[in-house]
Amino acid sequence: MPRIQDIGAFSAVREAGLAKLVPAVPRIAIGMGTCGRGNGAEGLYHAFAEAIERSGINVVLASVGCFGACFQEPLANLRLPGFPLVILHRVQANDAGRILHDVASGSLPPDLIYCKIEEWDHITASIKYGRGYPEIPLWNEVPFFKGQKKIVLRNCGFINPDDIEEYIAIGGYQALYKVLIDGRPEFVIEQLKASKLRGRGGAGYLTGNKWEFMARAKADHKYIICNADEGDPGAYMNRNEIESDPHSLIEGMIIGGYVMGASGGIIYIRAEYPLAVHRLTRAIDQAREYGLLGENILGRGFKFDIEVVEGAGAFVCGEETALIASLEGQAGRPRPRPPFPAQKGLWGYPTNINNVETWYNVAPIVTRGPAWFSETGSPKSSGTKVFSLVGKVTSTGLVEMPLGTPLKTFIYDIGEGGIGGRQVKAVQTGGPSGGCIPPEMFDTPVDYESLTQLGSIMGSGGMVVMDEDNCMVDVARYFVEFTHSESCGKCIPCRVGLNKSLRILNRVTEGAGTMHHLELLDELSRYIRECSLCGLGQTAPNPVLTTLRHFRTEFEDHIVSGRCQAGVCEELAVSPCENSCPLHMNIPRFLQLYKEDRLEDAFEAVIMDNPLPSSTGRVCQHPCDSRCRRQTIDEAVNMREVHRFIADSILLSNRYEHMVQRILVRRLEHTGRKIAIAGAGPAGLTAAFYLAMLGHDVTVYDAKPEAGGMLRFALPEYRLPKSVLQREIRLIEQLGVKFVFNTRIGFDIPLNDLDDRFDAVFISIGTWKESWVYQPGTELKGVYPALMFLEATARGEEPPIGRKVAIVGGGNAAIDSARTALRRGADVTVFYRRERKDMPAIEEETQAATDEGAKFVFLAAPHRIIGDAAGKVKSIEIVKTRLGEYDVSGRRKPISTDDIRRYECDAVILAVGETVDLDFAKASGLSLKESGTLDVNRFTLETSRSRFYGGGDVVTGASNVSNAMAYGKQAARNIDLQLMEANRWARILPLFDYGNELPAEPSPNHRHAGHIPAANVRVRSNAEVVTGFTHEETLDESCRCLRCDIKVANVS
């Protein structure tokens, strides 16, 4: 092909390119970026090539860049002449044959279709592919692409990056031609200034101003540089852009070279991007061949060339002065500015450095004009920005969005929220120089100023999403470790300051931190930020400062309670299951003890970790399951059922009395201290157990006639037989705990009275008040608050519910009410204002209710309840909702619509949540939180009144059994510590010698589940639904444990 010197030659190349891009035969293009290759795109390409050769079908096979949806790799696109371009996802090599077969018969592989494109705007030109396939969604109707606007990524995934003709076919080098013909460089600068394009490397300096400064500089030589030294962990925008569309970069740089009067251009790219380097070098060669680089470009007498320099991978070389030093052959160390590179840069000559993405925006602005460009984005930050959305988010990939888009759009709409419905905890923008932003601030628009305000930066566009499995202290530590190892060492703040920051963070993650460390860390970080020489040091403390600001409680947890909630800091946990357990039961220990056939030891280990083992063995929400590492092999160990079996084997057998004696032996000598506990629920019982074991004199008061709290009065018999609970309470009584029933603290006995008679008081009265929202009709006969209904049932009463029951709510109380009503033969419909996946109820329970015949109506909020003449419920009106904006919990807020529907019913059970009894709270005079719950010190559980402690639901709001028990345990420990001024806790805990050998091979058995009768059988009785394991099953399950608690293994 001759050099393009005139418009005629240009058109000829363009026609040739179009014939390849939109041929008259079917075209199959494979996404062959690094991401595609990593997922097997090369194998796919060869499979297609072979299949085409074998079958002789006339198909064009091409390799293109990446379309951005990394989570759907390998991507391919397929077009039949006259029809839309169809994007296929997750295409495997063995699909090639059948796809080709489909193509030959003019059809598409239905299971691989992702979306279609009817017409594509390449900005510099547009391609009409054709219309059709009404059943396939358009590309921007797919959640991942909704709202995306592709300016920088305009050609990625469409054209063959190795073929300049395809680039010219979609209007490539037209902008350059226009600029050269026009011959007015100052006009281009005016356009850039008017477009308000800002540097995409992170600092956000106005590109037009930067270019003007450079254009005005007078010197023998001037250089322009493209900074492609992309080194942030989790960021790969530039790699993908260059791999998919290298010519857009080259065109931008030639225009820049002409406008700024540069004598040469340099692309400084990481050597770790071999594919990008390869494609770029090839593109430059092609551009030279076609007369677009070198002497007399496009016949307009302009001379310019570009050189590719591979950086050795030092992160600091992304800093412009270090980059220049590196280009000059020196060590990559920054120098102070002024002088700025535009005054004195490479070899002492004026130099202009722009980020890859900035160059990509040049041709579109020249083609479409500044007004078009600044239409997109926010007033101060115009245009789009490419982000690499990665981490703990469902859909990952390259996302190009208008600047100013709120963070939550990225995370919840495009990214579709946390993986497997997990809650997103933070998003980290800007790589190691950026900061972590908590969900409360996900409304923030993503632009230069807003992110800086939060202590983060936009940076080059990395966006790492983190969920509850990420420890924020560890995240801060990780980034500081990174910048510490990448620091050049020139200035003290960065070299030594980061070294000390890292050391402090290491101490905290090891559990050896102090609160003084946090102050020092904060001070040191501010010093590093203000005093460092270059951008690396100035921004390196951002991850620390933002985590300290937004996630301070996690630091405190590590330091004060020695706990890492996320379970990342291994020194702070026995095993992942132990760490996830609110009671911190040593799970591997009792599994091993049972394996060693030591049932009594196992029981002692269990009950000393958890005083209500049979009840929790049935109703705990078992967070341990989701953390079990066995999941990487098959399924989690069923730890709850093992612990239930161990507990039941003793508590419900004739070995009970013997074991009680064994536990009594552990009880410490009598201290003579008197402690009152208000509330005999799980929190109160737990505290009573431990305080009695510690030798104190414990009296438990409760307003109800029996002990057990919610376990006794809210949990239905079919989930927890009361005889089981009775045994556990009896054991606590045998330890010497006294119970006083039908007595309300604060009413029947004033707090002052308690204060006089006891050395400490623990308040755990729970949440027994319905958070009753008044609705028209709630006064009618047949309307019950869920708790009242469940409590009456537990007492053996049968509140009249008629035949048809409507239940409002989506929590455990709603499901318990539904299943209870089903057992009374009612027809049950549950109304919930959000979707099923948003329900707070335990998933197994919801499923069981569905199996038993409960009907669910989602997106339905109560409107009013209608009664008949006798004042009895006749029907309920609900208003349909739609889901609006995302709230802090990552769920979408329900918004009422006009659509009101009526359901006939005989009773309505309102399960809209429980709250603290405000009467008590007011009467007590204790300080409360805004939500009405008791305000206590997070670590000591002290209330505003001295010697009064609080815990359980009264502090957290309605929660669950094991969380409440954890409070009881923590309270007992703290009360004892403060009363006795000595740490006596360890003295009551048993120690066992048990096997510390790793299993040679994981046990081949699969997870056992408790036994559940068929729905139609169990729904007719109140008998316990889930029956426990047998001895063999328990042993099998114990053997499945991988023993994560063994930290140092003897590897021979």
Partner 1 sequence: MRLPQKKLSIRIDGELISAVEGQTILQAAKANGKYIPTLCDLEGLTPVGACRLCIVEISGTDRLFPACTTPIQDGMSVTTASTRLAHHRRISVELLLVERNHTCAVCVSNGHCELQSLASAMGISTVRFAYNYPKLGVDLSHPRFVLDHNRCILCTRCVRACADLEGAHVWEITSRGIHSRIVSDLNQKWGESRSCTNCGKCVQACPTGALAAKGCAVEEMVKRADNISSLVHRREVQV
- How far does Cα 80 stand from its chain's mean position? 40
CA 346/CA 339 separation, integer angstroms: 12
- Residue 456: DSSP 8-state: -
By beta-carbon proximity to partner 1, the closer residue of 381 and 487 is 487
Residues in the chain: 1052
- Residue 533 lies near partner 1 (rule: CB under 8 A): yes
- Residue 540 lies near partner 1 (rule: CB under 8 A): no
- Residue 887 lies near partner 1 (rule: CB under 8 A): no
Residue 416, burial from CB neighbour count under 10 angstroms (0-12, 13-18, 19+): middle
- Residue 424 lies near partner 1 (rule: CB under 8 A): no
Mark 307-326 with x for binding to partner 1 (rule: CB under 8 A) and - for no binding.
-------x-x----------
- Residue 542 lies near partner 1 (rule: CB under 8 A): no
By beta-carbon proximity to partner 1, the closer residue of 156 and 498 is 498
What letter represents residue 39's amino acid? N
Closest contact distance (angstroms) between CB of 335 and partner 1 is: 7
By beta-carbon proximity to partner 1, the closer residue of 418 and 497 is 497
CA 1045/CA 53 separation, integer angstroms: 56
- Residue 249 lies near partner 1 (rule: CB under 8 A): no
CA 614/CA 643 separation, integer angstroms: 8
Backbone φ and ψ for 83, nearest 5 degrees, come out as -115, 165
CA 742/CA 745 separation, integer angstroms: 10
Closest contact distance (angstroms) between CB of 490 and partner 1 is: 5
CA 201/CA 214 separation, integer angstroms: 18
Stretch that binds partner 1, among 517-525, 725-733, 958-966, 1025-1033 (CB under 8 A): 517-525
CA 426/CA 1032 separation, integer angstroms: 44
Closest contact distance (angstroms) between CB of 499 and partner 1 is: 5
Stretch that binds partner 1, among 109-117, 521-529, 658-666, 700-708 (CB under 8 A): 521-529
Q: Which of residues 1003-1022 bind partner 1 (CB under 8 A)?
A: none
Q: Degrees (nearest 5) of the Cα angle 111, 116, 119?
A: 165
CA 161/CA 65 separation, integer angstroms: 7
Closest contact distance (angstroms) between CB of 150 and partner 1 is: 37
With CB under 8 A as the contact rule, the residue among 193, 282, 288, 335 that binds partner 1 is 335
Cβ pair 904, 804 in contact under 8 A: yes
With CB under 8 A as the contact rule, the residue among 3, 90, 282, 500 that binds partner 1 is 500
By beta-carbon proximity to partner 1, the closer residue of 533 and 787 is 533
Cβ pair 262, 222 in contact under 8 A: yes
By beta-carbon proximity to partner 1, the closer residue of 38 and 336 is 336
Residue of 334, 361, 318, 335 whose CA lies nearest to 225: 318
Q: Which of residues 434-493 bind partner 1 (CB under 8 A)?
A: 484-493
- Residue 495 lies near partner 1 (rule: CB under 8 A): yes
- Residue 874 lies near partner 1 (rule: CB under 8 A): no
Tell me the site size for partner 1, rule CB under 8 A.
32
For residue 439, give Cα distances in angstroms to 181, 207, 411, 476, 930.
51, 32, 10, 17, 20
- Residue 532 lies near partner 1 (rule: CB under 8 A): yes
H or E, element range at 125: none
Using DSSP, state whether 590 is helix, strand or coil: helix
- Residue 178 lies near partner 1 (rule: CB under 8 A): no
How would you write 872-920 as a 3-class SS string?
A: EEEEEEEEEEEEEEECCCCCEEEEEEEEEEEEECCEEEECCCEECCHHH
- Residue 514 lies near partner 1 (rule: CB under 8 A): no
- Residue 503 lies near partner 1 (rule: CB under 8 A): yes
Residue of 908, 814, 913 whose CA lies nearest to 862: 908
Stretch that binds partner 1, among 35-43, 526-534, 901-909, 1032-1040 (CB under 8 A): 526-534
By beta-carbon proximity to partner 1, the closer residue of 19 and 520 is 520
- Residue 50 lies near partner 1 (rule: CB under 8 A): no
Strands (E), 325-476: 351-355, 384-391, 397-402, 424-429, 435-437, 462-467
Closest contact distance (angstroms) between CB of 192 and partner 1 is: 27
With CB under 8 A as the contact rule, the residue among 512, 531, 740, 998 that binds partner 1 is 531
- Residue 499 lies near partner 1 (rule: CB under 8 A): yes
With CB under 8 A as the contact rule, the residue among 157, 497, 684, 811 that binds partner 1 is 497
Stretch that binds partner 1, among 261-269, 329-337, 552-560, 690-698 (CB under 8 A): 329-337
- Residue 977 lies near partner 1 (rule: CB under 8 A): no
Q: Rounded to the nearest 10 degrees, what angle do helices 1031-1039 and 587-595 cross at? A: 120
- Residue 153 lies near partner 1 (rule: CB under 8 A): no
By beta-carbon proximity to partner 1, the closer residue of 496 and 1035 is 496
Closest contact distance (angstroms) between CB of 500 and partner 1 is: 5
- Residue 997: DSSP 8-state: P
CA 518/CA 506 separation, integer angstroms: 12
CA 399/CA 327 separation, integer angstroms: 32
Closest contact distance (angstroms) between CB of 531 and partner 1 is: 5
With CB under 8 A as the contact rule, the residue among 520, 660, 866, 980 that binds partner 1 is 520
- Residue 579 lies near partner 1 (rule: CB under 8 A): no
Binding residues vs partner 1 (CB under 8 A): 314, 316, 331, 333, 335-336, 338, 484-493, 495-500, 503, 520, 523-524, 527, 530-533
